[in-house]
């Protein structure tokens, strides 16, 4: 075997390392005589399909990834539609809940509060220090709306990195799943004898902040080329962002979310729950709005968006959808006037009475990119209505006459046939996005949306729905899945060797996704490209992200500045790991 040594710099000293090589072919006699790689892939797929429960399929694929990563990722690439829901949402949620019970072997890196003051030594134990390029970090506090999972949240870090590898061709050895064990407030796990984490309540905010400061500093020293994706949900952000709304939590408004705010400017940090969700929803709406405007003859600036669900997630997405209108030339104030919210008490408006602050004024901070909001507080409470409380969604639709209806309520079936027909009565191509996860909490199904709009609906959901047949046509639902965004964004950040992940890079990923539809996909009315093309999509997004990084002057691979777009795209494809 030829050994290839490549130079690298570490703490100002040039060293040599052995270049990555493909695993050696087993010697004769160590495998069956008729073992064939392509047939073996079919064998593994048959074994997977023999399992009748999704969690059993998850366990099988986890074992296969450990034993034969090439076969695992080959199956992922060739069967994305079938395997993605197993290694990611929705099955990964169940896998996280059962993580301590289905655990079989170490995977990833666990950094405990007990390591405080000694975190560097733990990080140095990772076996491939010099290969580290991307990490998904969670403390398990809020995963997929499942509550405080503690160390069981590691499943989401593992799952997302599997998609970075399959979806963008990032080398497996370059990824580090990390779980921060700061305790858990979930008594069920604390009482579970199989629970794998520390058995104590979550540490205080002050101790967490000190821990995070040390963790991020040592991460930058141990893995200088690493991009970090944080897993922090809207609920957690709201708790940190608006402490006065959460009296039982000890957060002050002066330092709320201070450490993540600071890290974003100091390190290459990306937050998928905020930036990824916003980017993928914006992308789908961009494509839907163009189709709807073409059908109605009305300009893009005339769209009106009605949000059913004004919790932290609904308000967060509303903030992000403002950018659709500012991209069309409206001011932020004008954009805000195109957005309406419904909460548990009906239409949100000033004259109704005192509102929760996050419904009226979502305090902006740096994890919400600047192109999503203005410097003033975004106020979604209407000042152009002063009548009696309007609580019936049908009455509100009649009053607002929205072109788009977004669901973030987690109320099953909230978009009744009457609601769907009301949207269709006002619009030749109504836009309906029931975004609540999982499927059982979705505001409506794709089948109902198709039936009650006579096939005219422009639909995207948070969870996958099957395609539908209508009057001899096959109609395809969109899914606003973050996996469209983060693999390509991560790949672009790695190849450009960015010093930070800027607002413009996130915006570029959204516009890149919207622009990645093929002519065939557009002719079929798709809002998102086919997931089977994820590598091609990721390359397209990575190119846009690299160009945005160059324009923001945060790239350190300056040799890429002088190549053409076609050359850059070839370079990106050439860097993708192929199983």
- Count how many Cα atoms sit within 13 Å of the Cα of residue 243 in the half-sphere of its side chain: 12
What are φ and ψ of residue 443, in 5° steps? -65, -25
520/198 Cα distance (integer angstroms): 52
Q: Does 481 show up as a binding residue in the annotation?
A: yes
Burial of 59 (0-12, 13-18, 19+ CB in 10 A): middle
Cβ atoms < 10 Å from Cβ of 546: 30
Element (H, E) at 270: strand 269-271
Give the three-class secondary structure for 18.
strand
The answer to whether 235 is a known ligand-binding residue is no
192 burial class (0-12, 13-18, 19+ CB within 10 angstroms)? middle
What is the rounded distance in angstroms from the CA atom of residue 205 to the CA atom of residue 188?
22
- Note if the bond before 438 is cis, omega within 30 degrees: yes
Q: Is 258 a catalytic residue?
A: no
Please give the backbone phi and psi of residue 523, each rounded to the nearest 5 degrees, phi first: -65, -25
3-state secondary structure of 308: strand
Computed on alpha carbons and rounded to an integer, the radius of gyration of the chain in Å comes to 24
Torsion sign, CA atoms 251, 315, 91, 45: negative
The span from the CA of 135 to the CA of 156, in Å, is 12
- Structure token pair of residue 170: 């990032």
Is 43 known to sit in a ligand binding site?
no
Longest dimension (CA), the chain: 83
Catalytic residue among 57, 65, 74, 160: 160
Q: Would strands 134-138 and 109-112 be described as parallel, antiparallel, or unpaired?
A: unpaired
d(CA 510, CA 506): 7
Distance, CA of 408 to CA of 257 (rounded, Å): 24
Active-site residue flag, 578: no
Catalytic residue among 73, 88, 195, 349: 88
Q: How far apart are CA 313 and CA 215, in angstroms?
A: 28
67 is in an annotated binding site: no
Contact 568/545 with Cβ under 8 angstroms? no
User: Does 11 carry a binding-site annotation?
Assistant: no
Q: Please provide the DSSP assignment of 344-409 as one string.
A: TTEE-BGGG----HHHH-----TTS-GGGS-SSPP--SBSS--SS----HHHHHHHH--SEEEE-S
Q: What is the DSSP string of 100-125?
A: HHH--S--SEEEEGGGTT-HHHHHTT
Q: Is 255 labelled a binding residue?
A: no
* Binding site as annotated, residues: 142, 231, 250, 273, 437, 481
Binding site residue list for a divalent metal cation: 231, 250, 273
Annotated binding-site residues for (S)-malate read 142, 437, 481
Q: Which residues are catalytic?
A: 88, 160
């Amino acid at each position: 075997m030829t050994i290839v040594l490549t130079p690298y710099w570490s703490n100002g000293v040039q060293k040599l390392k052995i270049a990555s090589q493909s695993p050696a072919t087993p010697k004769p006699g160590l495998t069956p005589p008729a073992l064939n790689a392509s047939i073996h892939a079919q064998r593994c797929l048959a074994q997977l399909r023999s399992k009748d429960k999704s969690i059993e399929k998850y366990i099988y694929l986890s074992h296969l990834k450990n034993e034969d990563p090439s076969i695992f990722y080959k199956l992922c690439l060739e069967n994305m539609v079938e395997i993605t829901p197993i290694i990611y949402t929705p099955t990964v949620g169940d896998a996280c809940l059962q993580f301590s019970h289905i655990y079989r072997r170490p995977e990833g890196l666990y950094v405990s509060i007990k390591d405080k003051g000694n975190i560097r030594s733990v990080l140095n134990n990772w076996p491939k220090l010099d290969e580290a390029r991307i990490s998904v970090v969670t403390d398990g506090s809020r995963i997929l709306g499942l509550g405080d999972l503690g160390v069981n949240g590691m499943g989401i870090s593992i799952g997302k990195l599997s998609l970075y590898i399959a979806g963008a061709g990032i080398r497996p050895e370059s990824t580090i799943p990390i779980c921060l064990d700061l305790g858990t407030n979930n008594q069920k796990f604390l009482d579970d004898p199989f629970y794998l984490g520390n058995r104590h309540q979550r540490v205080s905010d002050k101790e967490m902040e000190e821990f995070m400061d040390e963790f991020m500093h040592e991460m930058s020293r141990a893995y200088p080329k690493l991009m970090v994706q944080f897993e922090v949900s809207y609920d957690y952000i709201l708790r940190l962002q608006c402490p006065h709304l959460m009296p039982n939590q000890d957060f002050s408004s002066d330092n709320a979310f201070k450490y993540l705010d600071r890290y974003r400017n100091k390190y290459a940090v990306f937050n998928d729950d905020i930036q990824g969700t916003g980017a993928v929803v914006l992308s789908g709406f961009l494509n839907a709005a163009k189709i709807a405007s073409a059908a109605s003859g009305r300009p893009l600036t005339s769209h009106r968006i009605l949000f059913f669900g004004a919790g932290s997630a609904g308000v967060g997405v509303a903030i992000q959808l403002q950018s659709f209108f500012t991209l069309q030339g409206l001011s932020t104030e004008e954009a805000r006037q195109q957005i309406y919210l419904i909460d548990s008490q009906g239409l949100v408006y000033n004259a109704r009475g005192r509102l929760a602050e996050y419904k009226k004024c979502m305090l902006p901070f740096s994890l919400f990119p600047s192109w999503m909001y203005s410097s003033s507080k975004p106020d979604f409470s209407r000042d152009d209505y002063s009548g009696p409380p309007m609580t019936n969604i049908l009455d509100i639709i009649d009053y607002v006459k929205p072109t788009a209806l977004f669901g973030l309520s987690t109320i099953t079936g909230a978009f009744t046939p009457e609601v769907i027909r009301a949207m269709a009565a006002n619009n030749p191509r109504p836009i309906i996005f029931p975004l609540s996860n999982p499927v059982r909490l979705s505001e409506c199904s794709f089948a109902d949306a198709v039936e009650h709009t006579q096939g005219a609906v422009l639909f995207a959901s948070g969870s996958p729905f099957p395609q539908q047949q209508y009057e001899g046509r096959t109609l395809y639902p969109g899914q606003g899945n973050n996996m469209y965004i983060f693999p390509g964004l991560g790949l672009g950040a790695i190849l450009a060797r960015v010093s930070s992940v800027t607002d413009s890079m996130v915006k570029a990923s959204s516009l890149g996704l919207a622009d990645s539809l093929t002519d065939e996909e557009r002719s079929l009315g798709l809002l998102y490209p086919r997931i089977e093309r994820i590598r091609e999509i990721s390359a397209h997004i990575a190119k846009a992200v690299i160009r945005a990084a160059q324009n923001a002057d945060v790239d350190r691979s300056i040799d890429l500045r002088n190549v053409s777009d076609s050359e850059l795209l070839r370079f990106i494809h050439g860097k993708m790991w192929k199983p």
